[in-house]
Structure 1
Amino acid sequence: MAEASQQDDLAEILAEASQQQQQDPTNIVARLKRAYVNEKNAPELLPFEHDLLEQVMAKVEDQELVVQQSREAAAAAGGGGGGGGGGGMDDLMAHIYQAELNRVRFLIRAYYRTRLFKIEKYAVHVVKPETNEFAKLSPQEQKYATDYVNMLEEHFGSVLGQMPEKYSSMLQQIEEDDAEMDMVPEPNLDKHVFCRVREDRRDVMFDPNDPDNTMDLDQGDIIMVRYRFIKGLLEDGALDLI
């Protein structure tokens, strides 16, 4: 009977935790997942989620303490042995908390890996003074991007330095006063993306070249559109990329 009671208690705890995570829009794990999916599907770098990552790391530290306390309680009660003691429940809860920790750590690593991939791919574009891309990075990412570009310049300099002067730039195909940096990769903002609408919006104008062509967006709608046209809505939190 004691074992059945513990199973019922565990099922209730798991159901309540799952329901809270699904219903609470402020849940930091859900917000972290949204940030990761948006970052993964956006063609450009999105602003670094400073406040969210600070909250997540604080939550991870708290969760690590809970896991440690649960394991200590399980060990003190006999490590979850038979007899229906409380040690078994403590040991099981420690495993549940640890699984949640692993999930959060995976999301954190995936978020950072996605951003680092974009930083390396568009490194020169990111550090160009005339863009605002550099301001989207965390201080650590800014240092990484700067060091990465310096490394590229040093690496290619040994080869490009042997070329004629007008062909020696890694930014332009031919060095001319009126030439643009046509060898610098930039994000394709005209890439089509899938979006899920999070809040109702009326008379949304997607294409500024066609102001009469508007569309009403209802919560839950899924649309495919050029990223450039929904960039502002994404920044406002009115929709998510999927």
Structure 2
Amino acid sequence: MSMDGFNGELWNEFQWEAHLNEVEKKSEQLRRFIESDLKGNTPRWITLLKESLSEDDAFEAYVEEELLMDEAYFPEDEDDWEDEEEYDDEDFLFGFDEFDEFPDADEDDFDAGEEWKSLSEDFALSDNGSLDNLGLFRDARFYAVDILKWAESVPAKSQDKIFLEFVGDSLKIAAKLAGGYSFGFEQEFLGANIAYTKKALRFANQSLEMMGKLKTKSCFTRQSYAEFNSRLFELRNDIGVYIQDLRDRFNNSID
């Protein structure tokens, strides 16, 4: 993505947030257009669950669609995509198969790889990292996939508006984290990363609120509610810490 149209100005998180809100309005129109249910009554995640082989596949398809719909309204810089033929979207989003290029790797190579992966969290917080090496995103991803598995067990009569919004918002937590990560950690786009991550925090808070409402509707067992609530509460807090870390990085870069 280029800075064309931004007059070379360094945008902070609030300027990016206003811009992203406009992008989301346009992407929502596109979303309604491409959904199989033209009236917009069936959430996209339900359709993807039916079309996918597993909940993991449905999650990946959901996140990719969310990113592509937002990306459609950003100007592109051809120089940013000079390596487009080498890497595809799925490689960026969910990492590479570590051994595809090294089919004959021996045990020593494997051990060295394991040692390298112990440092991957720091590496993830760079423009050369992989989203799937970001622990926060992995937590959001595993949570979202488990929510999809749980949703399939909820009787149709209990799948009301609150239920549908809760599942959708649970998926959007990870989608917005991925959206922020796609901007990277360079100073000029760090504000966009923060703005997207704040949206992830908002969806986490909304999900916590709706989870409480669903508890009274007997959608959860006592055990499943305790587990999901604990995971979501911790995820929400971790996102808040991550936002502050990104802000510190942005502020330190302009001091």
* TM-score bracket, shorter-length normalisation: under 0.3
Q: Which has the higher helix share?
A: 2
* Greater length-normalized contact order (CA 8 Å, ≥ 6 residues apart): 2
TM-score if structure 2 supplies the norm length?
A: 0.24
Q: Which has the higher strand share?
A: 1
TM-score if structure 1 supplies the norm length?
A: 0.25
